[in-house]
């Protein structure tokens, strides 16, 4: 039946001398129109990510230009358990890394409601097998009061964390009077990512200095990458944060099917995925908040009333008074910013298994159902604070499934393994190196 219709269409087109353009799938025509409409400049480019090696097109900090060797160094350091040298208990020395909470297979998220670096043990398949060590009290491990954000496409995040507190640039211009504690680092004039990576070593109980870097074998790399720094400033937290930030800026999902579709390959997505995308950029209104290259929104913070992490099963070291529950307001101290959170990017989320800042949802389907119902779940957030764009959507079950398909498959770059190093120079197991993780990761 389909064949005949197509045959008749081809013949008619032939008779009327249509160009091959008009033979394309009507879904592509509609989707292109919808995506253009969602773009502030009417162009598909607004959503097209650069390739991971197109350094000129990746947003970067002028203090920290991207180079291949710097990225290669950062790739090892991000997974390096050899710098985990400041744990609370000796037993945990050399057992965790940045990637303990940002696991590539879990979309660079922890694979559990809350990441545990120092004070945790085990890995499982994707991070779900990690648990708190019995000899750490609940308030002792390195865990945070919000779910770890993905670091995918973080080059497009000017101010990092759910509250956007890092970096004196962009959204934080004018917030100088609230820079205290962790955020004093903003005074250095680095971008959000470089600032946070620098702050991260202490928070995550890691040590970098000339001796450690030399012992682990990284000195030649630092010399090659940071040769313009005087020797006394070459093997430091700052250079290490530069290398790691450069690596993180190269984490770009430019091989996801939707990206290929945007670049002109109409076969990159199935019809159902295109229907899901049409809903995303149309009836479901997702694009109103998730916009731009990684479908985040670097300059907006919204309240959509999701639960906080203290309410999640097994969450430790966080409670109802955790400042992070206030989102942007916890940083700016402005009443009107309370409960507003950064709009996160939407690529490679499938393997994460825990969604929203409080890990209150266990699947993308639950997330889409939440947006479809449009009813807040957090009693602390009053209705008057909820973003106007968050309201019941009236999607059918079938439509919900199509939006889920679009997010899980069209926005999934299978090539992410290229961002995992072959080895780290310490020779340690990574991303974790405790006895249980070593078994789980097949390191023994």
Residues forming contacts to ligand HEC in the complex (CB under 6 A) are 98, 100-102, 115, 117, 142-144, 146, 148-151, 154, 157, 160-162, 193, 196-197, 200-201, 204, 244, 248, 284-286, 288-290, 302, 304, 306, 324, 341, 343-344, 346, 349, 355-357, 364, 367-368, 371, 387, 389-390, 403, 407
Q: Is the alpha carbon torsion for 383, 387, 393, 399 positive or negative?
A: negative
What is the spatial distance between Cα 331 and Cα 329, in angstroms, rounded to a whole number?
5
Cβ-based nearer residue to ligand HEC, 284 or 429: 284
Cβ-based nearer residue to ligand HEC, 22 or 366: 366
Residue of 424, 431, 422 whose CA lies nearest to 96: 431
- Is residue 410 a contact partner of residue 256, using CB atoms and an 8 Å limit? yes
Task: Measure the CA angle with vertex 131, ends 129 and 134; round to 5°.
Answer: 145
Cβ-based nearer residue to ligand HEC, 8 or 375: 375
Tell me the closest approach of the beta carbon of residue 366 to ligand HEC, in angstroms: 10
Give the gyration radius of the chain's Cα atoms.
23
Cβ-based nearer residue to ligand HEC, 230 or 316: 316
Tell me the closest approach of the beta carbon of residue 307 to ligand HEC, in angstroms: 9
Cβ-based nearer residue to ligand HEC, 70 or 290: 290
Cβ-based nearer residue to ligand HEC, 259 or 372: 372
Tell me the closest approach of the beta carbon of residue 122 to ligand HEC, in angstroms: 14
Task: Say how far residue 28 (Cα) sits from the centre of its chain.
Answer: 28
Tell me the closest approach of the beta carbon of residue 119 to ligand HEC, in angstroms: 9
Tokens representing 16 are 């009327």
Residue of 267, 363, 343 whose CA lies nearest to 299: 343
- Is residue 385 a contact partner of residue 334, using CB atoms and an 8 Å limit? no
Say how many Å lie between the first and final Cα of the chain, rounded: 59
Tell me the closest approach of the beta carbon of residue 360 to ligand HEC, in angstroms: 8
Tell me the closest approach of the beta carbon of residue 313 to ligand HEC, in angstroms: 17
């Amino acid at each position: 039946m389909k064949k005949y219709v197509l045959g008749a269409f081809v013949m008619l087109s032939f008779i009327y001398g249509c160009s091959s353009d008009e033979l394309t799938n009507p879904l592509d025509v509609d989707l292109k129109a919808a995506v253009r409409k969602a773009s502030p400049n009417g162009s598909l480019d607004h959503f097209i990510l650069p390739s991971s090696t197109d350094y000129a097109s990746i947003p970067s900090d002028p203090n920290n230009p991207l180079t291949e060797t710097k990225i290669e160094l950062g790739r090892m350091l991000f997974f390096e358990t050899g710098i985990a040298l400041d744990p609370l208990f000796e037993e945990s020395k050399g057992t965790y890394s940045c990637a303990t909470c940002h696991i590539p297979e879990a979309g660079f998220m922890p694979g559990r409601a809350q990441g545990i670096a120092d004070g945790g043990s085990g890995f499982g398949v994707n991070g779900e097998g990690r648990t708190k060590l019995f000899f750490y009290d609940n308030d002792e491990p390195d865990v945070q009061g919000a779910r770890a954000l993905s670091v995918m496409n973080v080059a497009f995040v000017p101010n990092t964390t759910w509250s956007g507190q890092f970096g004196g640039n962009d959204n934080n211009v004018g917030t100088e009077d609230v820079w205290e504690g962790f955020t004093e680092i903003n005074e250095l004039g680095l971008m959000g990512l470089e600032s946070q990576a620098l702050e991260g070593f202490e928070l995550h109980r890691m040590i970098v200095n000339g001796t450690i870097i030399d012992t682990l074998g990284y000195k030649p790399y630092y010399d090659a990458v940071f040769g313009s720094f005087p020797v006394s400033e070459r093997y430091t937290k700052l250079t290490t944060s530069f290398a790691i930030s450069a690596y993180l800026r190269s984490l770009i999902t430019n091989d996801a099917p939707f990206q290929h579709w945007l670049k002109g390959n109409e076969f990159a997505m199935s019809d159902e995925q295109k229907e899901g995308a049409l809903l995303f950029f149309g009836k479901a209104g997702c694009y109103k908040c998730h916009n731009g290259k990684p479908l985040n929104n670097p300059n907006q913070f919204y309240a959509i009333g999701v639960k906080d992490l203290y309410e999640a099963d097994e969450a430790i070291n966080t409670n109802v008074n955790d400042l992070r529950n206030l989102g942007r307001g916890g940083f700016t101290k402005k009443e009107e910013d309370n409960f507003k959170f950064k709009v996160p990017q939407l690529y490679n989320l499938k393997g994460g298994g825990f969604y929203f800042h409080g890990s209150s949802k266990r699947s993308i389907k639950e997330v889409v159902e939440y947006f479809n119902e449009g009813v807040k779940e957090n009693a602390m957030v009053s209705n008057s604070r909820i973003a106007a764009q968050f309201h019941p959507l009236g999607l059918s079950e079938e439509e919900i499934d199509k939006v889920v398909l679009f997010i899980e498959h069209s926005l999934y770059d299978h090539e992410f393994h290229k961002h995992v190093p072959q080895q780290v120079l310490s020779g340690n197991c990574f991303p974790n190196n405790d006895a249980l993780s070593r078994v789980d990761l097949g390191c023994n």
